[in-house]
């Protein structure tokens, strides 16, 4: 069950987790909704993990590194993927969709991938996604328009029903770009000046907005992500601790130890001893 819409690209399929080609940590080139139909497990990002079970919907923006870990129970879900260019930036209606999408991305990059939806809303989304699959299968005139309308309706439903108040954010587009940049470059040197340029905000406005959205500072947010990166390396490689520290953006092994004790409550070496 695949949908391909050109030049807008939307795809949908019913799958099992984890997918054979996406076991372990991975990214994808498009934004992705996962609606859990059966089973339970855990989604992981560098900022932590979130449990999932039947009825939950998670959102992963393009490029976000994450992992799906199932429990002993088989997991089936409906996945819907679409690229940013599915909505034209110069169209007033599409611009509002971009606004909601930016809000979703912003929350996801802060480790809030699970959407707070009621069972009723989840059922409506499931129906919309299945409608998209059926519409594509007919290949009738106007199918591409209908597919885009379904995608827009899904975003409207999420924005209205979600507890995240996506449509009320000040300017989620720019801040979503900030968090996406941090996710992609956390191991590198990240300066306030770089973030100001991306966010197009004054220094005081940026710091106030960042604190309001994350509850923490830029430095602490980046450090938390680096700790997550280091934890992944510790669990999947035999690299020396010092090398892992430098690869993940820490100035040295002592900084790695300090960060682990602060954000994880244990030393990095304990991950390997366990």
- What CATH number is given to the structural domain containing 28? 2.60.120.280
178 and 43 housed in the same domain: no
Task: Give a three-class secondary structure readout of 30-47.
Answer: CEEEEEEEECEEEEEECC
156 within domain boundaries: yes
Kindly tell me the number of DSSP H helices and DSSP E strands found in the chain: 10, 7
38 and 174 housed in the same domain: no
How many domains does the chain fold into? 2
- For residue 103, what are the domain limits? 10-167
233 and 125 housed in the same domain: no
Contact in structure between 203 and 196 (CB atoms under 8 Å): yes
109 and 18 housed in the same domain: yes
187 and 72 housed in the same domain: no
Residue finishing a domain among 140, 167, 194: 167
Alpha helices in 27-109, H assignment, sequence order:
92-109
- With 0-12 / 13-18 / 19 or more C-beta atoms within 10 angstroms meaning exposed / middle / buried, residue 249 is buried
186 and 253 housed in the same domain: yes
40 within domain boundaries: yes
203 within domain boundaries: yes
Name the average pLDDT for the chain.
82
202 within domain boundaries: yes
152 and 66 housed in the same domain: yes
30 and 150 housed in the same domain: yes
Q: Let me know the angle formed at the C-alpha of 189 by 187 and 193, rounded to the nearest 5 degrees.
A: 135
200 and 138 housed in the same domain: no
Residue 248 DSSP class? T
Dihedral (C-alpha) 47, 103, 61, 126: value to the nearest 10 degrees? 110
Nearest-CA neighbor of 150 among 98, 85, 80, 220?
A: 80
Reading the chain (274 residues) residue by residue, the pLDDT tens digits are 333 333 335 666 667 766 555 557 888 888 988 888 888 888 889 888 888 888 888 999 998 988 887 666 678 887 888 888 888 878 888 888 888 888 888 889 988 899 887 888 878 888 888 887 777 677 678 877 888 888 888 888 888 875 555 544 555 568 888 999 999 999 999 999 999 999 999 999 999 999 988 899 999 999 999 999 999 888 888 899 999 999 999 999 999 999 999 998 888 888 775 5
116 within domain boundaries: yes
Residue finishing a domain among 167, 196, 221: 167
């Amino acid at each position: 069950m695949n949908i391909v819409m050109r030049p807008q690209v939307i795809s949908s399929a019913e799958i099992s987790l984890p997918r054979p080609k996406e076991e372990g940590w991975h990214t994808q080139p498009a934004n992705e909704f996962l609606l859990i139909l059966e089973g339970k497990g855990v989604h992981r990002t560098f900022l932590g993990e979130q449990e999932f079970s039947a009825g939950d919907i998670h959102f992963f923006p393009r490029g976000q590194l994450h992992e799906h870990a199932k429990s002993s129970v088989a997991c089936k879900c409906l996945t819907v993927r679409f690229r940013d260019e599915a909505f034209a930036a110069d169209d007033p209606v599409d611009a509002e969709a971009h606004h909601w999408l930016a809000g979703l991305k912003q929350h996801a990059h802060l480790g809030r991938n699970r959407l707070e939806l009621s069972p009723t809303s989840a059922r409506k989304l499931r129906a919309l996604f299945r409608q998209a699959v059926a519409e594509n299968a007919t290949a009738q005139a106007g199918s591409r328009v209908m597919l885009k309308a379904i995608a827009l309706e899904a975003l409207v439903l999420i924005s209205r029903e979600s507890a995240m108040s996506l449509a009320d954010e000040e300017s989620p587009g720019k801040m979503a770009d900030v968090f996406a940049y941090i996710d992609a470059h956390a191991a590198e040197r990240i300066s306030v000046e770089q973030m100001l340029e991306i966010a197009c905000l004054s220094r005081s406005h940026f710091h106030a907005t960042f604190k309001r959205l994350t509850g923490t500072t830029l430095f602490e947010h980046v450090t938390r992500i680096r700790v997550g990166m280091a934890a992944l390396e510790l669990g999947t490689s035999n690299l020396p601790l010092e090398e892992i520290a430098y690869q993940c953006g820490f100035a040295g092994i002592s900084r790695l130890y300090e960060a682990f004790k602060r954000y994880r409550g244990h030393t990095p070496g304990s991950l390997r001893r366990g």
